[in-house]
Amino acid sequence: CMEGLAEWFGTDQAKPKQTLPPLRGNVVVPKPKKGAEILLVHPDRPGPDGQPQIVLATEKYGGGRSAAFTADTTYLWSLPLHAMGQDSPYNRIWGQLVRWLAGADVRNRQRGAGVEGLLNKSIYQLGEKVRMRAMVRDEHGDATNYAEVSLTFGRAKESALKQVPLTRAASRQGMYEGTVDAPGAGDYSVHLVATKDHKYLGVQDLKFTVMQPADEMLKLAANPKLMEELSRLPNHPGSSRRLDQLPDLIDQLLRNDSAASAAEERVIPLDDVVRAGMTWLNADPGWPRKYDMPLQGGLVIFALAFEWLLRRFWQLP
């Protein structure tokens, strides 16, 4: 589970070379179960048994496996090292722990020798480096650091192939990696070969594509001549303007817009309750002004009657 993580978590003989942010707490357990293997402890805090508090312990139980991780807020390990991607200690410790619990190493032994190629993506932009990795298993199905891994790659239907040796990665057992510097645009085929003691362990074929960027991204400056030519196309006639003519163009469009409504000025007396209320509701009263006074009087009578009803209902004086 902790393979290749000694640089971050240290060992019994050496302290870690890199530091991780401290976590905010952990659950205190009395002592490890019989047969459990302790992988991580809190070096500065003793538990109930006087030994350092347990952070990570694993155990094989029957035909399965179990693990107990007592700390929390492990996201604090992820945030400052997010740029490392899958190589960050946060991703590696959880990934390796899950694979160990799932018995991935047992299945690999059952599969025997082999090689599994890995590309960080399948489509690259022109000028990008292509990073390639390979996981190699020996004849027993165990990850091995003593294999020779190479790859040949080239464009589809191209006879001239390039060869790139893959070197062993110190971060993980059985991992080999290499980089191809900025290949040209096109579709590529990759052929991976892994050998050990002059015996084949496995082969695998991969594919990736390098895309040419769009033409409009090659030159970002304005092209007034091209814009003028496009505006004169017979199927879609139009006109072209310079950037400094944009305010005049907007004014012209507004003047020619038949749907644009002209500003209207209205004077509403505030003492006219009916018309002021209708204006506030964005409605235009369609009756003559001579009916405003009777309407206001009706509103007063209605308010007095409503008040009288409320007083009778609540038995108020």
Reply yes or no on whether the pLDDT at 14 is more than 90.
Answer: no
Residue 256 confidence class, pLDDT cut points 50, 70, 90: confident
Reply yes or no on whether the pLDDT at 122 is more than 70.
Answer: yes
90 φ/ψ angles, rounded to the nearest 5 degrees: -65, -50
Question: Tokens 């090292």 map to which residue?
Answer: 81
Q: Which three-class secondary structure state does DSSP give residue 231?
A: helix
83 φ/ψ angles, rounded to the nearest 5 degrees: -65, -20
Residue-wise pLDDT tens digits, 276-304: 877 777 777 777 878 888 888 888 888 88
Q: Which three-class secondary structure state does DSSP give residue 49?
A: coil
CB 290 within 8 A of CB 272: no
Q: What percent of the chain has pLDDT over 90?
A: 9
Burial class (CB within 10 angstroms; exposed 0-12, middle 13-18, buried 19+) of 67: middle
Q: Which of 131, 128, 135, 133 is nearest to 114 (CA)?
A: 135
Question: Of 239 and 199, which is predicted with more confidence?
Answer: 199
Residue-wise pLDDT tens digits, 136-153: 988 877 788 889 998 888
Residue-wise pLDDT tens digits, 43-101: 888 888 888 999 999 998 877 889 999 998 988 988 888 877 777 888 888 888 887 88
Reply yes or no on whether the pLDDT at 317 is more than 90.
Answer: no
Question: Of 205 and 159, which is predicted with more confidence?
Answer: 205
Could you tell me if residue 25 is left (phi over 0), alpha (psi between -120 and 50 degrees) or otherwise beta? left
Question: Of 172 and 155, which is predicted with more confidence?
Answer: 155
Q: Which three-class secondary structure state does DSSP give residue 261?
A: coil
Residues near 235 by beta carbon (within 8 Å), at least 6 away in sequence: none
Q: What is the pLDDT of residue 105?
A: 58
Q: Where are the alpha helices (DSSP H) in 23-145?
A: 75-78, 89-101, 104-111
* Cα separation values, 8 from 45, 93, 249, Å: 19, 10, 63
Q: Which of 53, 89, 48, 81 is nearest to 68 (CA)?
A: 53
Residues near 82 by beta carbon (within 8 Å), at least 6 away in sequence: 88
Residues near 183 by beta carbon (within 8 Å), at least 6 away in sequence: 124, 130, 153, 210
Residue-wise pLDDT tens digits, 171-224: 777 889 988 887 888 888 888 999 998 888 989 898 989 887 665 555 666 778
